[in-house]
Structure 1
Amino acid sequence: MLVLSLMLVATLLAACGGDGGNATSSNPTTITVWGMGTEGDNLKVLASDFMKKNPDIHVQVQAIPWSNAHQKFLTSIAGNQTPDVAQMGTTWMSEFARADAFDPTPGNIASSQFFKSAWDTTVVNGTSYGVPWYVETRVLFYRTDMAQKAGITAPPQTWDELLADAKAMQQKGGAKYGIALSSNDWEEFIPFVWQSGGQLVQGDKFTLNTPHVVDALDYYRSFYQAGVTPQTQPQGFDVAQSFVQGQSAMFISGPWEVGLVQQDGGTSIAGKWAVAPLPKKLTSTSFLGGANMVVFKNSQHREAAWKFVQYASQPDVQVKWYNTVKDLPAVQAAWNDKALAEDKNLAVFHKQLDDAKGPPVITTWEQVATVIDNDMEQVMFGKMTSQQAANDMQQKATAIGMGS
């Protein structure tokens, strides 16, 4: 009787087995992977390659629009209907980790293989959840032909040079505007805070009213005061087209703009533009974006799920993913690939990734970011001083809090 009972328990455990240990190519373990945007649309390529190498695991991909992804994750967590694996926005990591939704990253995944700043986006309260999947950062795009016409022989290295070059390319280089800046984009603004030596949070407190933040707002505002950037940008403004058409001589953006500039400009702009690391005050720190890949805690197939995540983190797979969707690899060894290493534009992004930061990993960051957007716009339009805006950011952010 005891033997029969043990056999029954073993059978039940096998049926519920979270890791699909008895899976075969004829009876594979099935895992579900959610992806958003372009990544979600192309994840089947990655899944197909994985399944060829792992016939005992079947991957079902579900593409989700970014616009309703957050709500879909909330609903799936509340109903215990999460996928096994998902692409995860870095600003959502804290919220869902604190909801106990994620499986901690296994100890056999080495953090050192990833860019440190990217790995840091997976860490909540000292524990890593998931791995960086791809990264992006922002650099300076500039028209070399307009710079040459204005007597400029190298990209700007400092804050003072950036403003001076913007003026020169407007006055002498033929551009309508020396640089195109957004009046309400925290991702574009906060690197100037870091470059000035500031932080956004320290410990459990916001630090949005420090002299560093005021300094960054003053500097950003100086481009508006000098008239070298558009005072407003119409809805649907295409900065790549503005750049190609010579209306804006410089702008700050990410790697996706490289293809857009090449596409919009074609041969007419070839050899007339370049990218460079962001100019420096104390540092030249840029914004770090991208997405992570996480495994959900209530997955019944965590071993298979982590196997998929680890596959996506292999250097050669990261290179193939770059060639598929142009996402920059989060794994440092992938940058040794010839196709990436010999691309002069990618070399600039690679260099910038060594000095890039993500936003604070706190539950309420998106709410705080909206406050920053609104207040920086008030400064650019002259409706608030930089100090008033910094004080308002600090007060409202403190009232919002950092979440539980």
Structure 2
Amino acid sequence: MKRKLIAAIGVACMAASIASCGSGSGSGSGKSTSAKSITVWLTVDAQNNWPELVKSADAALKKSHPGVTVKHEYYSWGDKNTKLDAVLATDKAPDVVEMGNTEMLPYSIKGAFAELDTSKFDNSSAWLDGLKGSVSYNGKVYGVPYYAAARVAVWRKDVAAAAGVTSTPKTYSELTADLDKIQSKNGSKFNAWYQPSRDWYTGMSFVADAGGAIATESGGKFTASLSSAASVKGLTEFKSVVTKYMHGDLTKDEADRYIIFGQGKSAMMYGASWEGPAAADPKIDKTGGKLKANLVQFVLPGPSGKAMPVFLGGSDLAVPVKSKAQDLATEWINDFTGTASQKVLISKGNLPNNTTQLATLKSDPATAVTATAAESSWFIPTAPGWGTVEKQAILQDMLQAIATGKKSVQQAAKDADAAINKVINTA
């Protein structure tokens, strides 16, 4: 699932207060010896969709520590960080807080979260790469992956069949050949693949598939690498897709992709696994109900010959460094994210936080596509200035310039590198 990175200025405002507390030693620090309660902040996703899991984790902690109470506060994604920034500068910080995986980095850099001992958490040696990267900074771990969501391709089998395509593609050459047939059958105003140009998650998947990267790190310094030969190769292929199959507004992002797909003028989209079902919702579907019976998900094949690397969206749980109950918080997190709890999350349509349980989903037709897609993933550079990179929309602007022809691939990548290098190493 997509999480917006918090503005760097918000974290900077609380940095002075946090710094006075030190970096924290995390679990095992002794800060829980006299604690009688913990406060857990979760998003409304948990409150609405798996409240029984919350109760189970509470019960496990209370069983191990008689007399301990667990208090919960629930927040929407839009409200949580504003509240968090305010309390982290006081002595009212929660003991556990849920974070979107792209939200973790600036807080970790500023020392807002306690370092955690991974040996205290189930399946930590098998955490999904995309989630493990989100909780790690400078070789230390500041959070625990909670659950994940992968990106998959979805298309209409009725539209494909009308163009003579009767099965989903297994290779990139098959994909483009099929899309060519679909595009030809439906005309130049139809989107064989509805792919918004400003969707940097997909754009960077093409870069990763080609062996490129947004930036590389050496000696603690990050250097933008979008103008490298490999990255340019990926960006060039992204441009080819948009040019050939995307005939909508070339200045749009992916926020309303599923809504536009639901209008019935597209055959395929590539996005979070929930987007297809969302488009088929009767409130969104403008095709007369055709979507529900005709949508088919598949793992997007990449030009490299392997599955397209995906950006893994998801949530993490962290322990604020000012928590006075870090040991209890650590136990609660393990109860909430451990092997048994992941089974509950899987039953609710999520992907688990680890490859061990993910492997079991590949044999179930209902989860095989998303589970397979999640096996190959990439993550943002864990650089001090990444928040500024995203806030300035450098990647989105680059991709739009490429898609619209305002700049050549090489020039757009070169300009993006210059913009990134100005800010990526500065917190």
Q: TM-score range by the shorter chain?
A: 0.7 to 0.9
Change (3 A) 1:43 1:77: farther
Aligned-pair Cα RMSD in Å: 2.8
**Equivalent of residue 231 in structure 2, options 213, 218, 224:** 213
Q: Residue in 2 aligned with 1:240? A: 258
Farther-moved stretch of structure 1 (328-337 vs 56-65): 328-337
Structure 1 position 274 matched with structure 2 position 296: yes
Secondary structure of 1:103's counterpart equals: coil
**Equivalent of residue 74 in structure 1, options 75, 85, 107:** 85
Q: CA deviation at 1:238?
A: 4.3
**Equivalent of residue 311 in structure 2, options 287, 310, 314:** 287
- Equivalent position amino acid for 2:38 in 1: I
Q: Do 2:93 and 2:323's aligned partners in 1 also have CA atoms closer than 8 Å?
A: yes
Name the TM-score, length of structure 2 as normaliser. 0.80
What is the alpha-carbon distance in structure 1 between the residues aligned to residue 398 and residue 130 of structure 2? Answer: 27
Gaps of at least 5 residues in structure 2 are 1-29
What is the alpha-carbon distance in structure 1 between the residues aligned to residue 258 and residue 243 of structure 2? Answer: 24
Structure 1 position 310 matched with structure 2 position 321: no
How does 1:358-373 map onto structure 2 within 5 Å? Answer: 358-369=379-390, 370-373=393-396
Q: CA deviation at 1:260?
A: 1.5
Farther-moved stretch of structure 1 (102-111 vs 251-260): 102-111
Total equivalences in the alignment: 379
**Equivalent of residue 34 in structure 1, options 34, 37, 41:** 41
Secondary structure of 2:239's counterpart equals: helix
Change (3 A) 1:403 1:42: farther
Q: Do 1:88 and 1:291's aligned partners in 2 also have CA atoms closer than 8 Å?
A: yes
Q: Do 1:135 and 1:329's aligned partners in 2 also have CA atoms closer than 8 Å?
A: yes
Q: Do 2:191 and 2:247's aligned partners in 1 also have CA atoms closer than 8 Å?
A: yes
What is the alpha-carbon distance in structure 2 between the residues aligned to residue 41 and residue 365 of structure 1? Answer: 32
How does 1:5-404 map onto structure 2 within 5 Å? Answer: 18-20=31-33, 29-39=36-46, 44-55=51-62, 56=66, 57-106=68-117, 107-109=119-121, 110-172=123-185, 176-203=190-217, 204=221, 205-226=223-244, 228-232=246-250, 238-264=256-282, 268-282=290-304, 283=306, 284-324=308-348, 326-335=349-358, 343-369=364-390, 370-404=393-427
Structure with the larger helix share: 1
Secondary structure of 1:33's counterpart equals: strand
Secondary structure of 1:87's counterpart equals: strand
Larger Rg, first or second structure (1 or 2): 1
What is the alpha-carbon distance in structure 1 between the residues aligned to residue 171 and residue 247 of structure 2? Answer: 18
- Equivalent position amino acid for 1:72 in 2: K
Q: CA deviation at 1:49?
A: 2.1
Name the TM-score, length of structure 1 as normaliser. 0.84
Q: Do 2:129 and 2:378's aligned partners in 1 also have CA atoms closer than 8 Å?
A: no
- Identical aligned residues as a percent: 25
Deviations along 1:60-107, one digit per CA (max 9) or x if unpaired, are 222223224333333222234321001122223232122222222223
Farther-moved stretch of structure 1 (115-124 vs 341-350): 341-350
- Equivalent position amino acid for 2:140 in 1: T
What is the alpha-carbon distance in structure 2 between the residues aligned to residue 238 and residue 390 of structure 1? Answer: 26
Gaps of at least 5 residues in structure 1 are 1-16, 24-28
Deviations along 1:252-282, one digit per CA (max 9) or x if unpaired, are 0112224314534697445422111122222
